[in-house]
Amino acid sequence: MMRSAIFLVLISFLISSCSHVPFVKKKEASQKEVAKKEENQKKPEKIEEDQPKPGDIKVIDGVEYIYARNRRFMLSPYEPEYVWIRKDQYRPSLGDALSGVFSERQQRQELEKRIAKLEEDLKKKGLQPQVVYPAQIGSYPMIPSVVASPVVFDFPSPRMKRKVVVLPFDDRTNYKEEKLGEMATRRLINRLEGTGTVVCVEASTIELKGSFLDLTNMRLLNEVYGVQALIVGELSDVYTSTAKLEGKDEKEVSFAVSNLNVNVFSTETGTLIKKLSGRNPVSLSRERGEYSSEKAKIRAIDLAIEVIAEDLLRSVLSIDWHARVASIDKDGIYINAGRLSGLKVGDVLEVYSPGSHVFDEKTRIPIGIKKGEYKGELEIKELFGLDASVAKARKGTNFSPSDMVYLKKD
């Protein structure tokens, strides 16, 4: 009887141990799996928070940056689709319109609200948003996996706007009745003036005898009218392709291609300083619906302009800014540049007599103008008219009309 009791105790112990231990292990395993799942679910959220989204804004050292579409995306190799752009640099461009990121009014209003909120936060912290001129910032071609910093270009007088004349483009297309050359000229002017760093002077407002490309006339443009560059271009190879898509609405879809050639001349030397050519990516010119062919042509031209816009701007802004003493009377010294050119009350100008051209002895090509005799300094005391100003003598005497003035560097 005793043996039977011991046997039953052993059997019950074995059964309880075999049934209990596995369930404990199973329970522990299930808790680990739940914890692991929760950890895995948290990880993507963290990564997602670190990933910037189009329209995001961040502040670094008091400077605001907007995460926006890279306008050179697909126009040159190794360019990422989105990049951080300084707030003072950002302007909704053709690339933004194509991406649709900032195309909706509601999204634009939200962006403006976020910018306003950031500015308020900065003021509370005693910081002021920094402002630079668009001409000073550029970027190297970037590989998507590499973060590149903005590159600063040390242009002469970066604050001053350069005056240029854009001559009507030569229309070498098969659509002359549509006057695409005139349209391309106007759209390039709008693109340049939209940067806030260039003033385009209408060729029709300048009285010159003969061709603008004549060396004597270029020097007159520079010395008399204060024009730093002359832009000459041609539009060619405009083609379109249209087809209908079978479906619910059967709207036609069109693509177009265009080619833009532009030459940039320095009016100071009369020499060609840059030769540019831009052809649009066909895939980005897609338009559909009524008048899709005409709309595709316009988009193709805009894209071709966008391809050369940055290099064109670099060329123009690399030319030193100057203006001229227009006249002198008892009330002051009048300068043929003012608010439109970027001058402000209190700016100091250095005055030189007209200089002489310097030529390369081998090629006999002018390489620039040497400044004349230094005469002194002027201080801007008033801005008036469309683009004129009045100055007072700060240093020196014997100033005369035709003297050249340059913004004094700090």
Which CATH number characterizes residue 334's domain? 2.40.10
Domain count, the chain: 3
**Do 287 and 373 share a domain, yes or no?**
no
According to the model, what pLDDT value does residue 23 have? 44
Among 136-145, 217-226, 387-396, the range scoring the smallest mean pLDDT is: 136-145
Which amino acid, one-letter code, is at 359? Answer: F
Q: What is the total residue count of the chain?
A: 410
**Do 145 and 169 share a domain, yes or no?**
no
DSSP state of 280: -
pLDDT in tens, 56-93: 777 776 677 778 777 666 555 556 777 887 766 665 55
Domain that holds residue 71: 57-152
DSSP state of 144: T
248: pLDDT strictly greater than 70:
no
5 inside domain: no
211 inside domain: yes
144 inside domain: yes
39 inside domain: no
Give the CATH number, domain containing residue 172: 3.40.50.10610
**Do 266 and 191 share a domain, yes or no?**
yes
**Do 81 and 112 share a domain, yes or no?**
yes
pLDDT in tens, 270-328: 889 999 999 988 888 888 888 888 889 999 999 999 889 888 988 998 888 889 999 99
342: pLDDT strictly greater than 70:
yes
According to the model, what pLDDT value does residue 239 have? 87
SS3 assignment, position 14: helix
pLDDT in tens, 377-399: 999 999 998 889 999 999 988 89
176 inside domain: yes
The pLDDT-based confidence of 37 (bands split at 50, 70, 90) is low
Q: What is the rounded distance in angstroms from the CA atom of residue 196 to the CA atom of residue 80? A: 25
Single residue among 93, 126, 152 that ends a domain in this structure: 152
Determine the number of helices (DSSP H) and then strands (DSSP E) in the chain.
6, 20
**Do 306 and 349 share a domain, yes or no?**
no
Single residue among 295, 317, 339 that ends a domain in this structure: 317
According to the model, what pLDDT value does residue 376 have? 94
194 inside domain: yes
15 inside domain: no
Q: What is the rounded distance in angstroms from the CA atom of residue 203 to the CA atom of residue 212? A: 9
8 inside domain: no
Burial 104-137 (b: 16+ CB within 10 A, else e): eeeeeeebeeebeebbeebeeeeeebeeebbbbe
- Say if residues 173 and 181 touch (Cβ distance below 8 Å): yes
